[in-house]
């Protein structure tokens, strides 16, 4: 069974440009999460989807970040316009159906974003 897949693995963009990160969760997982680690800091929660609905977006840093999960399958996280402080590693995770107990969350390998 394929794990959580993230694209691209690395991205280098200039300040002010737009970048879109993609996450393909494990098939059948309704829960999808985005996290990020900026340099020297802890891994921080960004938001949580249950199927196509945003369950919790309390961790989104500002309105330059837009996450979508059309159809409840893969998700995208767009940063527009990117700023230098957005540099870091963005992780996606998925877990089993909501309301069926807290199973383990499976993480992707992350997308390393560098804004120059």
Partner 1 sequence: DAKTTQPPSMDCAEGRAANLPCNHSTISGNEYVYWYRQIHSQGPQYIIHGLKNNETNEMASLIITEDRKSSTLILPHATLRDTAVYYCIARPNFGNEKLTFGTGTRLTIIP
Is residue 12 part of the contact set for partner 1 (CB under 8 A)?
Answer: no
The answer to the question of residue 105 lying near partner 1 (CB under 8 A) is yes
Q: Tell whether residue 93 is a contact of partner 1 (CB under 8 A).
A: yes
- Give the residue, chosen from 2, 28, 70, 101, that forms a contact with partner 1 under the rule CB under 8 A: 101
21, 110, 113, 115: residue in contact with partner 1 (rule CB under 8 A) = 110
Q: How far is the CB of 3 from partner 1 (least distance, A)?
A: 9
Considering only residues 21 to 80 of the shown chain, the ones binding partner 1 according to CB under 8 A are 31, 33, 35, 42-45, 48, 55-56, 59
Least Å distance, CB 53 to partner 1, is: 13
DSSP string, 43-98: -EEEEEEETTEEEE-TT--STTEEEE-GGGS-EEEEESS--GGG-EEEEEEEES-T
Cβ neighbors of 103 (< 8 A, separation 6 or more) are 95, 96
What secondary structure letter does DSSP report for 116? -
| Cα separation, 46 vs 52, whole angstroms | 16
Residue 6's DSSP bridge partners are: 23
Site residues (CB under 8 A) for partner 1? 4, 31, 33, 35, 42-45, 48, 55-56, 59, 91, 93, 95, 98, 101-102, 104-110
């Amino acid at each position: 069974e394929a794990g959580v897949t993230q694209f691209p693995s690395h991205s280098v963009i200039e300040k002010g440009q737009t970048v879109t990160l993609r996450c393909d969760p494990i098939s059948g997982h309704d829960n999808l999460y985005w996290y990020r680690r900026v340099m020297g800091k802890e891994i921080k929660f960004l938001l949580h989807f249950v199927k196509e609905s945003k369950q919790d977006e309390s961790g989104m840093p500002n309105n330059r970040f837009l996450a979508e999960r059309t159809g409840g399958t893969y998700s995208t996280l767009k940063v527009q316009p990117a700023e230098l402080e957005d540099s870091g590693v963005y992780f996606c995770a998925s877990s089993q159906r909501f309301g069926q107990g807290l199973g383990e969350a499976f993480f992707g390998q992350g997308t390393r974003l560098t804004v120059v």
